Structure 1
Amino acid sequence: MRDYRITKYNPINRNEHGHFLIDEWTEPEQIGKAFNGVKATKSDFFVIEEKYVLSILEVLKSLSINHLRVVDLDNSYTKWSLSRSDNAWLREDEFLEVEVYEDKSVGLSEIETIIRMNLRHFLSCRLEINNKFSLRFGFDFYMYVLCNELSAEVQDKVHTIGLFVEEIEPMYLMDKCDFYIDVVKKGDEFVDDEILLKKMTRNKIKIGLGLSAEHPGNHSFKITPENSVIFIDEFQFDFDNYEYYLNCDKIYW
């Protein structure tokens, strides 16, 4: 599969190491600040965000994809972030109404909403179909698409919308990952130990959690007494004194 970076950043402004040389806003929290002597406005943000949404809709249309799965969801901070007064300008009614959970199948309208929520830092997730497509969001308003190929035609459409498509070395391989258990003593914030699971597979995760065939089975999650049976042949748990998290090492730089 091939990895594409789709962003507002013109590649002609990168140096030989790929570093972007122009000072631009990279997150909604920077709106209102000046860059190269020009103040970034809320309107600037919404115009660019719309380009990101339209570009992904064009990509999905070109690949005949009309739904995706929510993967590696973190919405633990969503309610808090939506309630902050300084985020009021970023809040939409549908953000309060949409139901998002791991492995949910989302159609195009919900995909649009979830893209906006990712870009506005109201939640974090990937949108994927196992071994077929992945949409990921990085730091600094970077967006990545993993698929078999983006045609020249759809790349031209994205460019017409106003974004830039760059094929990059694959950073993320759906079928390549190592699973670790992070051990945290109750009351602590830091990981005490990290245990490699030599027998764990994506398929075991999917079966154990009852995930769909379209879910890649390579996400991270908290291990509970209820789902710990997946790991019983590799690890003994002490839930009275420790908390446990499955860490899926899946990003390749």
Structure 2
Amino acid sequence: MPVFRISKYDPSLRDAGGAYTREEWTSHGDIGKVFDGAELTLAEYLVVEARYLELLDKFLGWGRVKKLKVCGMEVNDRASLQRCRGDAKQGLSEGVWLEKAEIREVARLALREVLWCRLEGQEFYVHFGYDFYMYISGVALKGEPPAVTGLFVETNCESPHGNDGS
């Protein structure tokens, strides 16, 4: 299956070993910190987060995904999880199958580092990596991947969390 790495990091700014060479924010926890002379605001963070969720929606449609299962769930911030609203947090646990709207909400929680998990189906997966990376793979993902302004979709990447999609 093809594996796509989605990030806000321009691949042209990587060194020969693949390391990103520019100092940028890498998590929700960086809100309020200064990068390249500018403070990361909540509003700026939310614009980028929305782009990730929009691209995730496009990949789910491209892969004709209806449901994905929560795998390897770890809760990093129980208080924030309790404050969250939406159907996804109701009964959210290891092994639960999520519909598309719930997938989006759990992805938001993963991007914000409230929790970590893999979202997997028989022939499709979404994995969340450190430093605001998202990995997507699926058997039906053939041709040119979808795009969203401000994000980069790299091909032939491997998820650091395995690639069996089951």
1:95: Cα distance to partner?
Answer: 7.8
In the other structure, the counterpart of 2:78 is: 79
Match of 1:103 in 2: 95
Give the TM-score of the pair, scaled to structure 2.
0.88
Q: TM-score, normalized by length of structure 1?
A: 0.59
1:143 counterpart residue number: 134
Specify the alignment match of 1:57 in structure 2.
57
Q: Which amino acid aligns with 2:78?
A: K
Q: SS in structure 2 opposite 1:116?
A: helix
Pick from 98, 102, 106: which aligns with 1:114? 106
**Deviation (angstroms), 1:16:** 1.2
Q: 1:79, 1:14 → 2: CA distance?
A: 35
Unaligned runs of 5+ in 2: none
Aligned counterpart for 2:153 among listed residues 135, 141, 165: 165
Q: Do the aligned partners of 2:110 and 2:117 also contact (CA within 8 Å) in 1?
A: yes
Amino acid aligned to 1:173? N
**Following superposition of structure 1 onto structure 2, how do residues 3-14 of structure 1 map, counting pairs within 5 Å?**
3-14=3-14
Alpha-carbon distance in 1 for matches of 2:88, 2:95: 20
> Alpha carbons of 1:95 and 1:121: their partners in 2 closer, same or farther (altered >3 Å)?
farther
Instruction: Report deviation, 1:149.
Output: 5.9
Distance 1:26 1:120, change over 3 A: same
CA distance in structure 2 between the partners assigned to 1:94 and 1:24 by the alignment: 30
CA distance in 2, matches of 1:161, 1:149: 23
User: For each residue in 1:11-40, what CA deviation from the matched residue of structure 2 results, as whole angstroms up to 9, or x when unmatched?
Assistant: 111111111111110011111111110111
Checking the alignment, whether the CA contact within 8 Å between 1:2 and 1:149 is kept in structure 2 is no
Instruction: List gaps (5 residues or longer) in structure 1.
Output: 84-90, 176-215, 217-253
Q: Is the radius of gyration larger for structure 1 or structure 2?
A: 1
RMSD: 2.2
Conserved? CA contact 2:88–2:106, under 8 Å: no
SS of the residue corresponding to residue 93 of structure 1 reads coil
How far is 1:94 from its partner? 2.4
Q: Secondary structure at the match of 2:86?
A: helix
State the 1:82 CA deviation: 4.2
Stretch moving more, 20-29 or 98-107: 98-107
Q: Structure 1 pair 95/120, CA: closer, same or farther in 2 (3 Å)? A: farther
Inter-CA distance 169–8: structure 2 relative to 1 (3 Å threshold) = closer
Partner SS for 1:165: strand
One-letter amino acid of the counterpart of residue 71, structure 2:
V
- Work out the CA distance in 2 between the residues paired with 1:19 and 1:148: 28
